[in-house]
Amino acid sequence: MPINNILPNSLKSLGIKSLLSNDNITSFYKKFCDAVTTRTWRFKKAKNSRYDEEDFLKVFFFSEMLGRSIHESSELLNEFLLSKKRGRPRIFSDGRRKRLIPHQTEVNKYLRRIGFRKAQKILQECLDEQLLDAFNQGIISKKVNVLIDFTEHPYYGQREDSMIKGTNRAKGTKKMRHYLGFSILSRHTHLYAGLEHVASGQSKIPLVLKHLEHLLSLGFQLDKVLMDREFYRAELIDKIKGMGGEAIVPAKKYKKIQQYLVEYLKGTHGRVRKYTFSSATAARCHFSRHVYVIIKAKNQYTLQRVKRDYKAGKISLDDARKRLFLIMTSEKPRGKTSSWASRTALFYRKRWLIETGFSDLNRINCRWKSNYDNVRFLDMLARFLLYNAWKMNKKMAQKLEKNERTKITLTLNQNQEALSKCLLSI
C-alpha cells in the first residue's frame, strides 16, 4: 500500500513527502542498528549463516510497528520480500521455500545475546540522538521540563531475584518488573528521554540525579522537574535546585502541613506558605531547603466554595481535607501570589503526560512476556523510539498546518503504518 493511501487526505495535499522520507522518519531505526552492531561485533557468526545483523533487527522493529509477534512479523516480512524477488524461489525436498528473513527462533536467539548493560547503553544512545535531532529541528528548546514516574509491568514467570518485585496491583500474578521512566516537555512536545529497571532495595535518588546530569551534559537546561509523591525527598529537591531546576512534588500531609491547611480554612493565612523541608534526623546526610506549599482544590471543587462550606459548618474538617490537595515547589512566588499559585498547580497537571504516554506505549504493541530482562528492555526501547517519532512527526505536521491553514491530524496508528511502509523500502 502506498504511503499516500495510508495518510489522511489533509496530509496528502501539503507536500509532506519530505516529512515521510527515509532519512527523516526512520533515522532512529538506522541509529538503533548502528548502536547494536557496534556492540555485538564480537558475536561469532555461523559459517552457513545467510543473514546480516540488520535482518534480525528489521524483524524486531517490524513486529513493534505492526503490533504483532515476532513470528507473525517474520512470516509477513518474508512473504513480502519473496513476492518482490524475481524468479522462482528455491523449494527444498520437504516443501519449504528458501527464506530471505530469519525465523522467529533465530531472532529471539540474537536478541538474547545482547546483554542487559549493553541494552541500557543502546537505549540511552538512541534516545539521546533523537532528543538532539528534535532540538536541531526546532521541535524542542534548550530549556526543558522533566517528568519522572514509575511504571509496573506484570511478570508471570518463576524467577525470584532482585529484578522482580512483589505487587498486589497486577492481574493474575503477584510479581512485576519496576521501571523508572524519564521524559521531557518542551514547546508542548512530550518525548521520552530515559528508562531504568529498578531492582528491589535500590535507591531511586541516584538514578534520578544521574539522568538529570546526563540531560545537562547534552546541553539542555532544567526548568521544572515534576515528580510524584514517591520522590518526596529533601536531598532530591536540594540537588535539583543546585542543577538550576525547580522541583514540584505533592506534599505529604504531616502535622505541620495539616496545620497550614486548617489555618487556611479558618481564614488566618493564605493558600501559599513557606516551609523548611529537611531530611529525617536519623539520616546519614542532612539536607534542608526552603520550599513553598500551595493549597489547591480538586477538579470538581473550588477553594472558595470549600472554605465557605467549612466555615458555614456544612462539611467537616475531614471532608474539607479530602477536597483539597497540596503541592510543594522550590520556586519562589512571582508576581501576584494567588495567580502564581494557580499557574503552578495547573502546570503540575502536565505530569500526567508521562502517565498517558505509558498507556500509548501499550497501544503500540502487546506487552511481551519474555523471561529475559534485556529483551524486555529492548522492547521498551523500540516503543520509546516509535512514540518519540510519532510526536516529532506530529509536531512537524502542525508546522505545515500553520503554513497551509489546513487542519492536520496524525494519529499513532497512521504514524505506525507509515513507518512500516518506510521500513520495507530500506
What is the distance of C-alpha 186 from the center of its chain? Answer: 14
Q: Which of 276, 308, 329 is the last residue of a domain?
A: 329
Asked, for residue 409, whether it belongs to a domain, the answer is yes
Produce one character per residue of 360-375: b if its CB has 16 or more CB atoms within 10 Å, e if not: ebeebbeebebeebbb
Cell of 49: 549463516
Please state, in angstroms and rounded to a whole number, the distance separating the CA atoms of residues 394 and 417. 14
Q: Is residue 139 part of a domain?
A: no
Do the domain assignments include residue 157? no
pLDDT score, position 8: 37
> Last residue of some domain: 329, 359, 391?
329
- Domain check: are 108 and 9 in the same one? yes
pLDDT of residue 18: 36
In terms of domains, do 10 and 111 share one? yes
Which residue pairs, CB below 8 angstroms and at least 24 apart, start in 291-294? Answer: 291/237, 291/328, 291/329, 291/330, 292/328, 292/329, 292/330, 292/331, 292/332, 292/333, 293/251, 293/257, 293/260, 293/326, 293/327, 293/328, 294/326, 294/327, 294/328, 294/329, 294/341, 294/344, 294/345
The answer to whether residues 292 and 393 belong to one domain is no
Residue 391 in contact with residue 190, Cβ under 8 Å? yes
User: Which residues, including other chains, have CB under 8 Å from residue 37's CB and lie 6 or more apart?
Assistant: 53, 54
The answer as to whether 278 is a domain residue is: yes
* Predicted local distance difference test score (pLDDT) of residue 3: 34
What amino acid occupies position 143? K
Describe the crossing of helices 116-136 and 27-37 by its angle, rounded to 10 degrees. 150
15 and 94 inside one domain: yes
Q: Is residue 222 part of a domain?
A: no
Q: Would 120 be classed as within a structural domain? A: no
Predicted confidence pLDDT, tens digits, the chain (426 residues): 333 333 333 333 433 333 333 444 456 777 788 888 887 756 666 655 778 888 888 888 888 877 788 888 888 888 888 887 776 666 766 666 778 889 899 999 989 988 889 889 998 999 999 999 999 989 999 999 999 999 999 998 888 899 999 999 888 899 999 999 999 999 999 999 999 999 999 999 999 999 999 999 999 999 999 999 889 988 899 999 999 999 999 998 888 889 999 999 998 999 999 998 887 766 677 788 899 999 999 888 999 999 999 999 999 999 999 999 899 999 999 889 989 999 999 999 999 999 999 998 888 877 677 788 999 988 998 889 889 988 888 888 777 766 666 666 677 777 767 666 665 555
The pLDDT of residue 222: 96
Residue where a domain terminates, one of 329, 358, 392: 329
What are residue 291's DSSP bridge partners?
275
Please indicate, yes or no, if residue 84 is contained in any of the structural domains. yes
Regarding whether 104 and 15 lie in a shared domain, the answer is yes
- 91 with 10, same domain: the answer is yes
Q: Which three cell numbers stand for residue 223?
A: 526548568
Please, are residues 100 and 82 in contact by the beta-carbon 8 Å criterion? yes
Same domain, 14 and 108: yes
Q: What is the structure's pLDDT at 216? A: 96
Residue 290 inside a domain? The answer is yes
Residues spanned by the domain of 325: 248-329
Phi-psi region of 64 (alpha: psi -120 to 50; beta: other; left: phi over 0): alpha
Read off the DSSP letter of residue 408: -
Total domains in the fold of the chain: 2
Is 380 in the same domain as 309?
no
Which class for 172: exposed (0-12), middle (13-18), buried (19 or more C-beta within 10 A)? Answer: exposed
